[in-house]
Amino acid sequence: ENIPLELHKVRVVQKLHLVPIERRLDAIKEAGFNTFRLSTADVFLDMLTDSGTNAMSDNQIAAMFRADDAYAGSQSFARLQQAVEEVLGKKYLLPVHQGRAAENIICRRYVKPGHVVPMNYHFTTSLAHILENGGRAAELLRDEALELKSENPFKGNMDIDKLVKCIEENGVENIPFIRMEASTNLIGGQPFSIANLMDVRRVADKYGLMLVLDASLLGENAYLVKQREAEWKENSMADIIKMMTGLADLVYFSARKLSSSRGGGICTNRLELFKEMEALIPLYEGFLTYGGISVREIEAMAVGLYETLDETMISQSPSFIAYLVREMEKRGIPVVTPPGVLGAHVDAMKFCSHIPQTEYPAGALAAAFYLISGIRGMERGTVSSVRDENGVEILADVELLRLAVPRRVFTLSQIKYVIDRMQWLYDNRELIGGLRFTYEPPVLRFFMGGLEPT
Ligand code: F0G
């Protein structure tokens, strides 16, 4: 058995609540069958996300105490700038309060009505900001990337032929930038290879286009490159990360994921790009040396960036995910393979093959799994999608229940509990029914939307 090993010890703990099933039934009803709306007082294992929930290290907490509180010119910010330069290899840094704030700034500045943004795949907030500015996304994964059961090591790769075709068809003037997302979140945390990123760079150069890298899950993508891309086996995490960021003109990130704290940033070595966005930071985020982030969190971000280079730290989440995925697979539960980053992803379309996609199988599975286990996962399917301009539902390419495994948070026995409960639900899957919306917000509806059983 390939048992993952915790390479850290637990020194601060938080009590969990495993409430009885009767309470869980009331709780999920009160939450409109939407796990985002549950209170953690009713949640046993919170596998909603890794965003801001990765464990902090002793060194991060310690650094928070030396934070330099200053509106302008804070030394904490100088330390973050230095970390960004040393780890990501970028000199100029614009701080923002989280990842989507970076997307807001970048899209406001570069996306105009009618524009098309070629990307490996969208993330919910990145797409929302492109749409908000009148643009649209062209998703250019290779066709096999959507085969959920697969051993393709780099499902996050962009299809280079599709990219060239997209540029030729839409015209360079209608393309503000190419976006590559590290560890492509919505298809199951699947990485791209460095060889592929180099190919994308060559196309960008050929057409004079800017390449933007969403680095929110960069550390894990780099780790999987080291594991899966033969040419990079002997390289350090530092080399691999710098190689990836070096290929992009602009790098942005959610520090809630990248460095396990809060905040975000946009960084570049091209001064003219920095200047083009600079004025938007004080307008939307805060002064240029804090960008809406507390100075304490800025210190934690800086330390967290250096820790991203530590393989014993960065390997934790992927190795626990691999265990969880392979154990579920052994039991016949349909899961996304190969195991990726961020979490394990259950294929709800197969799991709930009796529920039509218009009745949100992934949302139904998320609610049912909470009910029978107290574990909170996240729907990543059609509830997380959008409607087209005529109000017609755009069915998601994949219907997934994501069970996030934040770094260094859960123990192996807790992971075994997840497997045991999922097995029970799989054996009793015909009990799960579909859902319909009772309250549907116009933007990012999955966050606060309410549903009921059909
Ligand atoms: N890009 C990617 C790839 C992300 O995964 C996220 C957030 C963002 C951008 C936005 O960053 O939340 O700091 O504004 N992903 C979280 C998740 C929310 O649960 O997957 P943010």
Query: Structure pTM?
Result: 0.97
pLDDT band at 158 (very low <50, low <70, confident <90, very high): very high
Cα separation, 2 vs 323, in Å, equals 7
Residue 8 pLDDT greater than 80, yes or no:
yes
Sequence length of the chain is: 454
Calculate how far, in angstroms, residue 20's C-alpha sits from the geometric centre of ligand 1: 32
Across 72-76, average pLDDT? 97
Ligand 1: which residue has its CA nearest to atom 4?
216
Q: Whose CA is nearest to atom 11 of ligand 1?
A: 99
Q: Is 181 in the pocket of ligand 1 (CB under 6 A)?
A: yes
110 half-sphere exposure, CB direction, 13 A CA radius: 27
Structure tokens at 200: 């994308």
Torsion of CA 273, 271, 236, 240, to 10 degrees: 30
Coil, strand or helix: which one is 108? helix
List the domains of the chain with CATH numbers. Answer: 21-50+313-453 (3.90.1150.10), 58-309 (3.40.640.10)
Kindly tell me if the per-residue pLDDT of 1 is higher than 90. Answer: no
pLDDT confidence bin for 323, thresholds 50/70/90: very high
C-beta of 159 in contact with ligand 1 (< 6 A): no
330-354 residue pLDDT tens? 999 999 999 999 999 999 999 999 9
Among candidates 323, 335, 451, 446, which has minimal Cα distance to 398? Answer: 335
Distance, CA 401 to ligand 1 centroid (Å)?
A: 16
Average pLDDT, integer, range 261-286: 98
Give the whole-angstrom CA distance, residue 158 versus residue 143: 10
Q: Is 264 in the pocket of ligand 1 (CB under 6 A)?
A: yes
Dist. CA 406–CA 317, nearest whole Å? 6
The closest-lying atom of ligand 1 relative to the alpha carbon of residue 183 is 3
Quick check: 444 pLDDT over 80?
A: yes
Kindly report the backbone phi and psi dihedral angles of residue 235, in degrees, each rounded to the nearest multiple of 5, phi listed first. -85, 155
Q: Catalytic: 380? A: yes
Residues 374 and 310 sit within 8 Å (Cβ to Cβ): no
Establish whether 123 is a catalytic residue: yes
Residue nearest to atom 15 of ligand 1 (CA): 51
100 C-alpha to ligand 1 centroid (Å): 7
Q: Cβ contacts of residue 246 below 8 Å, gap of 6+?
A: 89
Q: Which numbered atom of ligand 1 lies nearest the CA of 52?
A: 13
Percentages helix, strand, coil for the chain (3-state, rounded to 5) are 45, 15, 40
Residue 251 CA, chain-centre distance (Å), reads: 15
pLDDT, residue 136, reads: 97
Q: From the CB of 254, is ligand 1 less than 6 Å away?
A: yes
Pairing of strands 264-268, 250-254: antiparallel
Tell me how far apart the alpha carbons of residues 9 and 401 are, in angstroms, rounded to a whole number: 30
Whether 319 shows a pLDDT value over 80: the answer reads: yes
Contacts 24+ apart (CB under 8 A), 7-14: 7/312, 7/313, 7/315, 7/316, 8/55, 8/313, 8/316, 8/408, 11/58
pLDDT at 106 over 90: yes
Cα-based distances in Å from 450 to 29, 348, 369, 447: 9, 19, 17, 9
What pLDDT does 317 receive?
97
Mean pLDDT (the chain) is: 97
ipTM of the complex: 0.99
Whether 375 shows a pLDDT value over 80: the answer reads yes
CA triple 374-375-378, angle to 5 deg: 135
Closest C-alpha residue for ligand 1 atom 21: 99
The b/e string for 229-254 (b: 16+ C-beta within 10 A; e otherwise) is: beebeebebeebbbbbbebbbbbbbb
For residues 178-191, give the mean pLDDT. Answer: 97
Choose the catalytic residue: 42, 50, 159, 214.
214
What ligand 1 atom has the least distance to the C-alpha of 48? 19
CA distance 376 to 43: 6
Rounded Cα–Cα distance for residues 165 and 173 (Å): 14
pLDDT in tens, 16-63: 999 999 999 999 999 999 999 999 999 999 999 999 999 999 999 999
pLDDT of 453 reads: 97
92 is catalytic: no
CB of 384 sitting under 6 A from ligand 1? no
Task: Tell me which residue has tokens 């923002």.
Answer: 96
3-state secondary structure of 306: helix
- The yes-or-no answer on residue 214 being catalytic is yes
- Whether residue 449 has its Cβ less than 6 Å from ligand 1: no
CA 119 vs. chain centroid, Å, equals 15
Which strands form 136-139's sheet, in the order they lie side by side? Answer: 92-96, 264-268, 250-254, 211-214, 178-181, 116-119, 136-139
Can 179 be counted among the known catalytic residues?
A: no
Q: Tell me, what's the pLDDT at 2?
A: 85
User: How far is ligand 1, taken at its centre, from the CA of residue 257, in Å?
Assistant: 7
Q: Could you give the CA distance from residue 407 to residue 259 in angstroms, rounded to a whole number? A: 10
SS3 call for 316: helix
**What average pLDDT does this structure show over 428-453?**
96
- Residue pLDDT, tens place only, 192-226: 999 999 999 999 999 999 999 999 999 999 999 99
Instruction: Say what the pLDDT of residue 198 is.
Output: 98
Give the Cα separation of 325 and 101 in Å (integer): 32
Tell me, in angstroms, the distance from the centre of ligand 1 to residue 233's CA: 28
Cβ of residue 256 lying under 6 Å from some atom of ligand 1: yes
Q: What angle do CA 156, 395, 46 make, to 5 degrees?
A: 65
